[in-house]
Structure formats: structure tokens, C-alpha cells
């Protein structure tokens, strides 16, 4: 089956949905999404959107906080775009019905680690869910938008699928994607003049993550296989505070809890963050995560504590109703009376598919927005609540670029062959490779986590390349199924993370290696770029 539209969007988080609403003004839009349309990293986001709207704040301060968190690796031009265009994009969300928390009619502004001012616009502690609700409501009635749920993109359609050899210097074009209709167990061809990756993050490559099961790095893996430039995959942000032993995905205890006054302590009740940073519990995430990791290893403890008992119980319940209710009902933990046991977990990828300031990738007619993209905003460490902001700012810029290009003469989409599964068989031996997913996650957690070394990375690389080869061989022989597509992508992304980590011979931000514990601005004040031709 073939589906044609002007714009194909892969993913249904804040980047994909906000872009779809705008792109529908200039043409038809198809959205393909792996699960239910509301299942995304956006939906799990608790904190909110960082934006300069207070008279006590300024663009310069927000820029400086972002650049500081990114350890001098952020692209200043991208950060300036993010910060200065953010308030207008926030107004657009409010205009479509996002109900942010207000106090006496004024937006309530929270503070999170690394921010010098209160600037986090939020919907209590369920900001992502509220934003998705409003966007999905607007999309539901739009005649130009069609959402294909339970459709999993397999690969981007490029010259490769026309039987042409693609070399490093060859121009590559994207004409859409092949996608598996999971419920019908059939592969469809989605063709479009413009394709946009809004497929989210890579968290499921780790054993412990805050990300939902769908976050298997599909967009990065597909773009890499198509020949796109990938960058800075070594910078994986581990959220410092997820609820200990809360399952998978780990239950997130929002950064805003520390911003509200929560204090990190050891199991014995000793405050420890002031030994690592002058900002103590309000230090940026990379510093806090490494500090917790260090304390756990020194003491042999399973977790540290986040203590709110010195704060007003009523105000805790008012500001964090979702966290309070979930901890109480699901985990029998009253956070107003008991300290919260917390551990770090994989949370956010600061690297991804390289784009310019308009969301354009190195492949013609292919854009990328949101966590899948590397815009240059986050550098070596993302400042809290800049992620949803990045998604709305750069998806709007991608739309503006599409709109300005609409009247240009575009080469016609060539005749694309249907998906070919001849010579394959049903995956009766799926059990033989299904265990590879757990092995990838375990290897990444043990050897490519918060603290790394050359020896750990070498061991990870050897094991992952064997697993990847096994998966690829199995993939070529069998009919595609959901689990196999995701497993193939996880193996690709894991390899990219290890490869980039090996290349960077210094410690900076989210990448800390015991072999090179110091920052090296002379050799490594630069992005870490890779592609199919740089293995």
C-alpha cells in the first residue's frame, strides 16, 4: 500500500505535533507513530518549558545558563535563536489551549538545576501531558492531518532503494519512509515531498531509563543508515533523581523538586552536594549525577535520598500533585513525611542527527526536530527544561523553511518500489535474538554509563559489534516485526554512542572518562561528527 502526502512526520511528540499543525496550512500531512499518538517522551515530561517572561530575567541570563550547562560546546547562534524565539512559541501553545499553572492569573515560574532565575513555565508536574493534550485536540479536527497509529518506520527511502550506489560525496534525497503497520502486519510505503524526523530519544539503549519503551533511537539509526551526519552521541544525560526500584521506565522525580527546595542526602542523612559544587543540590544534571554515582560507589549504597520533609506538606502537594499521588498510591511512599530514595537513570540524548538552524539535515528534503536532532543548543549537557523549548522553536523554523520553499520547483518523486520481503521467512527463531535487547542494555549500563574508561568502552565495543552483526544477519533473512526493527535500531545507536565516546579523549559535561579526567579545550572544543563513511 502507498500513502502520499506533502509532508511526512515520523513521531508524535511536541516537535511532530506542533509542526504538523503548522505544516497543514500549506499541504497535507501524514503522521506515523509507533504506538498510541500520545505515547512519547513529551508525555512523560514533568518539568516544563524554560522561557524568559519575567521582568527579573533576561535573554542574556538564559543564554549564559545554557552555555554554562553545555560546557562551552553549545553553538551560540543556536542558543540565541532558542532563547529569543522561545517566548513567542510559548504564546502559541497557550493560544491553542495549553493550560499552564497560574498564580493570581500570572504564569507560575519554577526553577530547576543550572538556572539563575525562576523561568520554568509548567502545568504543575505534568507539563508534557498537558501540552500533548492540547496539541492532539487541535490536530483531531484538522482535515489536512492524518495520524497513523501503530506504524513503525523501518527505513528512510533514498537512492539506495532505487538500486543506486550512494557514495560519500553523492547527494542523497529522501522521499519518505517504509513503515510497518503493526496491527495489519504489512509494510506500507509513505511518500512525501518533505520528511521530518521527530522520533524522540534513545533512552531504551540503557537498562535503567526514564524513557518510555518506544524510545529506541529509531530516527538516529534510520538517518545514519541513510547517510546523514550524526554528532555528539557520547553526551547522554542521566537524570540524577529517579525513584529507586520503580521499574522500567523509572519514575522520574522532577528537577523542579530540587528547585523547590529538596535536598540531596546520603542514606545516613548527610548533605553531600556542597562538596561537589557551590550550587549544591541546584547544580546542573551532569554534576549532580556524577556526585550521586561517586557517593554510591564510595559507600556501597543502592541509592541516595531527596529530602523534602523541611518543606510545607501542603505546598508539596500543591506543586507536585502527580509525584505525590504516584509515590503514595503506587509505591506507598509519603514524600511529605519520608525522604525519597533516588538514583540516576538515562534520560536525554544531547547528540543526534545534525541540522542547521532551520532543521535541515545533510540529506535533501529531510528535516529533524526535537530530541532526535543535534541543533547545537545543548552542547555537552542539556540545561533543564530547554528540551521542550528546543522542540517548539526549531520545529517552527523548519515549518518556515518549508513554507518559503513551497513555490520552488521540486524534482518529482521517482517511482519507488514496494517493500520487498521475497526470500525471507517468518521469525520463528525470534527467541534466539530477542535476548540481545537485554544484553545491549546491560552492556551500555555497565560500561558506557555515567563514568567511563577506555577499557570499559573497548569491552562494550567488542560485544556490541558481535551483537549488531548477529541482528543484521537475522534481519536480512526474516520478515520484519516490531521487536526486530527496534532491536536493530538499538544496536546501531549503541554502537554510535560507544564510537563517539571512544573518539572524545577528554572529560566534558555528560562524558566523563577516568583515562582523560580533565577538559581539553585545545583539542576537543569541537563537535564529534560521524557518519556511514567515518567508522
pLDDT category of residue 428 using cuts at 50, 70 and 90: low
Q: What is the DSSP track for 226-275? A: HT--EE-TT-EEEEEEEETT--SSPPB--HHHHHTT-EEE-TTS-B-GGG
Strand order in the sheet with 120-121: 49-50, 120-121, 109-110
Mean pLDDT of 88-110: 93
- Give the highest mean pLDDT range of 258-262, 278-282, 356-360: 356-360
Per-residue pLDDT at 318 exceeds 60: yes
pLDDT on residue 354 = 98
- With beta carbons less than 8 A apart as the criterion, state whether 152 and 12 touch: no
* pLDDT, position 383: 94
Q: Is the pLDDT of residue 130 over 60?
A: yes
Q: How confident is the model at residue 113 (pLDDT cuts 50, 70, 90)?
A: confident
Alpha-carbon span 67 to 334, nearest angstrom: 37
Calpha distance 320→123 (Å, rounded): 10
Identify the DSSP state of 534: B
Tell me the torsion sign for CA atoms 117, 119, 123, 125: negative
Residue of 469, 42, 441, 507 lying closest to 234 (CA atoms): 507
CA distance 171 to 362: 9
Domains contained in the chain, CATH given? 2-234+350-405 (3.50.50.60), 240-344 (3.90.700.10), 431-530 (1.20.58.100)
Q: Cell numbers of 22, please?
A: 503548522
Assigned C-alpha cell, 171: 547527494
493 pLDDT higher than 90? yes
What is the tens place of the pLDDT at every residue in 19-40?
999 999 999 999 999 976 545 5
pLDDT of 266:
96
Dihedral sign of CA atoms 187, 192, 196, 198 in order: negative
Residue 203 has what DSSP assignment?
G
pLDDT at 217: 97
- Whether the bond between 249 and the residue before it is cis, its omega within 30 degrees of 0, is yes
The fraction of the chain above a pLDDT of 90, given in percent, is 78
Residues that are catalytic: 285
Query: Which grid coordinates belong to 196?
Result: 521530518
- pLDDT tens by residue, 43-53: 555 568 999 99
pLDDT at residue 420, as a whole number: 84
Phi, psi (rounded to 5 degrees) for 469 = -65, -40
Longest alpha-carbon distance in the chain: 68
For helices 482-503 and 431-447, give the axis angle rounded to 10 degrees: 30
Task: Retrieve residue 159's grid coordinates.
Answer: 537512492
CA–CA gap between residue 175 and residue 162 (Å, rounded) = 11
Buried b (16+ CB within 10 A) or exposed e, 50-63: bbbeeeebeeebbb
Give the pLDDT mean for 126-138.
88
| Helices and strands of the chain, counted as H and E runs | 15, 20
Quote the CA–CA distance of 329 and 20 in Å, as a whole number: 37
The answer on pLDDT for 452 being more than 90 is: yes
Higher-confidence position of 421 and 143: 143
The answer, yes or no, to whether the previous bond of 409 is cis (omega within 30 of 0) is no
**CB–CB of 389/446 below 8 Å?**
no
177 is written with which cell numbers?
519512509
Alpha carbon distance 6, 26 (integer Å): 9
Over the chain, what is the mean pLDDT? Answer: 92
Q: What is residue 161's predicted lDDT score, i.e. its pLDDT? A: 83
Q: Which residue has the cell 523538586?
A: 257
Asked whether 113 and 237 are in contact (CB, 8 A), the reply is no
Using 50, 70 and 90 to split pLDDT, how confident is the model at 360? very high
pTM of this structure: 0.92
405-419, pLDDT tens digit by residue?
876 666 788 899 999
Place of cell 540503557: 206
- Top pLDDT among 113 and 133 is at 133
Amino acid at each position: 500500500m502507498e500513502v502520499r502526502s506533502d509532508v511526512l512526520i515520523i513521531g508524535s511528540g511536541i516537535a511532530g505535533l506542533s509542526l504538523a499543525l503548522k505544516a497543514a496550512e500549506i499541504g497535507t500531512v501524514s503522521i506515523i507513530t509507533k504506538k498510541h499518538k500520545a505515547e512519547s517522551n513529551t508525555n512523560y515530561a514533568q518539568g516544563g518549558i524554560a522561557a524568559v517572561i519575567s521582568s527579573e530575567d533576561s535573554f542574556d541570563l538564559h543564554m549564559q545558563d545554557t552555555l554554562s550547562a553545555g560546557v562551552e560546546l553549545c553553538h551560540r547562534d543556536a542558543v540565541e535563536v532558542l532563547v529569543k524565539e522561545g517566548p513567542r512559541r510559548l504564546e502559541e501553545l497557550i493560544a491553542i489551549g495549553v493550560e499552564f499553572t497560574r498564580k493570581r492569573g500570572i504564569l507560575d515560574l519554577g526553577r530547576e538545576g543550572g538556572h539563575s532565575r525562576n523561568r520554568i513555565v509548567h502545568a504543575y508536574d505534568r507539563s508534557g501531558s498537558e501540552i500533548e493534550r492540547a496539541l492532539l485536540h487541535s490536530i483531531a479536527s484538522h482535515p489536512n492531518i492524518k495520524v497513523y497509529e501503530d506504524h513503525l518506520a523501518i527505513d528512510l527511502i533514498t537512492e539506495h532503494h532505487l538500486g543506486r550506489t550512494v557514495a560519500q560525496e553523492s547527494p542523497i534525497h529522501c522521499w519518505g519512509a517504509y513503515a510497518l503497520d503493526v496491527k495489519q502486519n504489512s509494510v506500507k510505503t509513505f511518500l512525501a515531498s518533505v520528511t521530518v524526523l521527530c522520533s524522540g530519544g534513545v533512552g531504551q539503549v540503557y537498562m535503567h531509563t526514564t524513557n518510555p519503551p518506544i524510545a529506541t533511537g529509531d530516527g538516529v539509526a534510520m538517518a545514519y543508515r541513510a547517510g546523514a551526519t550524526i554528532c555528539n552521541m557520547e553526551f547522554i544525560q542521566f537524570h540524577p533523581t529517579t525513584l529507586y526500584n520503580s521499574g522500567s521506565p523509572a519514575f522520574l522525580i522532577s528537577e523542579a523538586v530540587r528547585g523547590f527546595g529538596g535536598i540531596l542526602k546520603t542514606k545516613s542523612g548527610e548533605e553531600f552536594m556542597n562538596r561537589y559544587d557551590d550550587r549544591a543540590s541546584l547544580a546542573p544534571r551532569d554534576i549532580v549525577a556524577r556526585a550521586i554515582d561517586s557517593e554510591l560507589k564510595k559507600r556501597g549504597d543502592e541509592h541516595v535520598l531527596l529530602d523534602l520533609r523541611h518543606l510545607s506538606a501542603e505546598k508539596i502537594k500543591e506543586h507536585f500533585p502527580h509525584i505525590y499521588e504516584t509515590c503514595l498510591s503506587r509505591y506507598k511512599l509519603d514524600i511529605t513525611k519520608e525522604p525519597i530514595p533516588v538514583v540516576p537513570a538515562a534520560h536525554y540524548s544531547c547528540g543526534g542527527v545534525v541540522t542547521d538552524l532551520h532543521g535541515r539535515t545533510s540529506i535533501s528534503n529531510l528535516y529533524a526536530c526535537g530530541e532526535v536532532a543535534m541543533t547545537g543548543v545543548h552542547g555537552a549537557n542539556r540545561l533543564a527544561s530547554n528540551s521542550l523549548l528546543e522542540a517548539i522553536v526549531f520545529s517552527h523554523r523548519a515549518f518556515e523553511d518549508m513554507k518559503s520553499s513551497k513555490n520552488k520547483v521540486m524534482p518529482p518523486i521517482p517511482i519507488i518500489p514496494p517493500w520487498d520481503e521475497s526470500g525471507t521467512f517468518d521469525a520463528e527463531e525470534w527467541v534466539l535474538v530477542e535476548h540481545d535487547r537485554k544484553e545491549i542494555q546491560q552492556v551500555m549500563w555497565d560500561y558506557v554509563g555515567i563514568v567511563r574508561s577506555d577499557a570499559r568502552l573497548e569491552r562494550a565495543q567488542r560485544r556490541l559489534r558481535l551483537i549488531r552483526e548477529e541482528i543484521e544477519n537475522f534481519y536480512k533473512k526474516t520478515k520484519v516485526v516490531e521487536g526486530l526493527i527496534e532491536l536493530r535500531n538499538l544496536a546501531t545507536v549503541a554502537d554510535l554512542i560507544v564510537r563517539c565516546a571512544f573518539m572524545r579523549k577528554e572529560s566534558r559535561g555528560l562524558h566523563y572518562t577516568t583515562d582523560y579526567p580533565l577538559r581539553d579545550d585545545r583539542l576537543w572544543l569541537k563537535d564529534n561528527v560521524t557518519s556511514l563513511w567515518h567508522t
